[in-house]
Structure 1
């Protein structure tokens, strides 16, 4: 796995299609072209470091406070019964609320942002339908307008919002293009949207399936973080990624040709017994746990702390609210995706 993800021969996008053809000529393409996680050009390397620096600099206490606050708000909005019925909406909305708040988005705009994100993210998938692409393009227009306005207001008002902080960090590495800042601000949301929702849903399934673990975390809520870590290994929300050969060469001891595609199954690496002994055992007290879910190399995901803390707070708040986790898990289905495993949860009457 590491040999592929760290190889100089591999790229995150095909050389012949840096932007998906279905997105060209739209605001989605304008966002996609500047996302550091989808770009290998040398000009973006310093900015990639700026993005990683910003994410790592967020105070852990602030993340935890925001996560618990918005988890409770989302539960209170619909009440306990509806919280069960719409647990999947909760899973997708929570990361948007938390990260958008950190970015400085006004609280009265958070729900609308979550709805736009629910249209924007699906249109990025290779399997997206024409209708999904259409809705995604419309959502992208709204998101770009909002983030341009947000960035301007933060810079004028010297706000400490994360978006303005990203702009300041970008200046330090010689990047002052507004479109780049805006695109990657939106990218913070889109990258966390499905992955964190999957982590919340998959954790609920794990707790429902392991009675002893469920009893342990109810007795000691501090163990929720350990549960999340083991879910990231045992049943990760992101299962695979791809790399595209930019030139002929040898990768992982295999001769490869320009244009070849490598499927990297991160979930399989997590179950490698050489990395994690007894990999089929769900063990929240596992020692020296190795998690490959966030990748490696230049495109390693820097959002592990954010995802872990948001998911931990979300599952803890749901559990404390009295939601029947076992009932949710009985009706679980999984969102259709080429690379993600996202549990969609509902009560019996909604199934």
Structure 2
């Protein structure tokens, strides 16, 4: 086991605990990078001004730098620091925060969901993107197309993707851009969310890229949140009945699952200047693997951290980031996941008839279901 393989291991949490017992921040010789695993070290790295989201010499991964996906990647607020991060965030976050849960629930209820493996895949991956597309003023038919294009585009975000997948990602990015150009030019005032963003953001190119980013962020992170909540129900059968009797508890389950078994297990930071963090001296060019999932289970952050506790007092979590790069769509993601899980639980199919494996990834923990 190593800190990267851990993301898709059946149970990485004992390994994370062993890492924390040794050191909060240490250098991993095999991987050639620093590993932050304690709550204190993770918080310090995420807050440090010299820990950037991309290396200075490679703002866009070389594998995609010459294509359209690279053009989009270079504008994404989550892949930038400074003004190129703050400006899109300040334009997009207020609109996301004004979306009410009932609007999201109505959009989720409009979709057909089944407990087949294929049905769950669509509910986890395609459904959330369709919801965001609808909030941005697209029709249901356009939403389905956008979800398929987003599935292709996210390949550019993974180092595991093949050259063919990257070529498809470039084409998908260009098509997504075209859909948003048409949506913006329609001027039909169908989307309060889009109107809100437009009022705050003048940079047209950055706007288009970050609208695509909304879909790509929704695609993977929300899918993992829904999938890991389903696993919690499979592993704790009594919770399924509790959720069905009291649907309001679904939001409590999701809030705890995102801490206990998060879909984003780690992220990276790149040191831009000499600095000292958690007693370690770092130099420019150093890479830090930030184990968010390990920090979530640090007893210094949460009492009894390995237990799934729906009514956990003073819950703390790094899953949606922290500080300047905290995810602006956290509330929306939880609303979509809650509405989707609620719809899934209206069906009588047996979740325990499903098998699963984790989607290949270096940082994501997203179950893919299949029938036994």
TM-score (norm 1): 0.90
Confirm whether residue 134 of structure 1 aligns to residue 185 of structure 2.
Answer: no
1:86–1:345 Cα contact (<8 Å) kept: no
Query: 1:47 is matched with which residue: 71, 75, 88?
Result: 88
Map of 2:10 onto structure 1: none
Number of the residue aligned with 2:311: 285
Residue 64 (structure 2) pairs with residue 31 (structure 1): no
Instruction: Name 1:19's counterpart in structure 2.
Output: 60
Task: Give 1:322's aligned residue.
Answer: 348
Please show how residues 226-245 of structure 1 align to structure 2 within 5 Å: 226-245=252-271
What is the distance in 1 between the residues matched to 2:332 and 2:156?
24
| 3-state SS, counterpart of residue 21 of structure 1 | coil
For 1:160, the equivalent position in structure 2 comes to 191
Superposed CA RMSD:
1.5
More helix by share: 1
Report if the CA contact (8 A) 1:113-1:143 is conserved: yes
Give 4+ residue runs of structure 1 displaced > 4 Å after superposition: none
Residues 1-351 of structure 1: pairs in structure 2 closer than 5 A: 1-69=42-110, 73-75=111-113, 80=114, 83-154=116-187, 157-170=188-201, 176-328=202-354, 331-348=355-372
Q: CA deviation at 1:340?
A: 0.6
Structure-2 separation of matches of 1:337 and 1:19: 19
1:173 aligns with none
Q: Following TM superposition, by how much is the alpha carbon of 1:57 offset from its aligned partner in structure 2, in angstroms?
A: 2.3
Provide structure 1 residue ranges, at least 5 long, that are not aligned to the other structure: 171-175
Deviation of 1:84 (Å): 4.1
Q: Name whichever of 106-115 and 337-346 sits farther off.
A: 106-115
Paired residues in the alignment total 331
Choose 83-92 or 1-10, whichever is displaced more.
83-92
Contact 1:240 1:340 in 2 (8 A): yes
**Could you tell me how far 1:161 is from its partner in structure 2?**
4.3
Distance 1:47 1:227 in 2: 31
Whether the 8 Å contact between 2:153 and 2:172 is mirrored in structure 1 is yes
Check the 8 A contact 2:128/2:219 in 1, yes or no.
yes
Superposed displacement of residue 43, structure 1 = 4.7
On the 8 A contact 1:240/1:264 being kept in 2, the answer is yes
Measure, in 2, the Cα distance between the counterparts of 1:219 and 1:45.
43
Please give the secondary structure, in 2, of the residue aligned with 1:346.
strand
TM-score norm. by structure 2 comes to 0.85
8 Å CA contact retained: 1:67, 1:314: yes
SS for the counterpart of 1:62 is helix
8 A contact 2:88–2:210 mirrored in 1 = no
Secondary structure class of the residue paired with 1:262: strand
Q: 1:335 to 1:43 in 2, by over 3 A?
A: closer
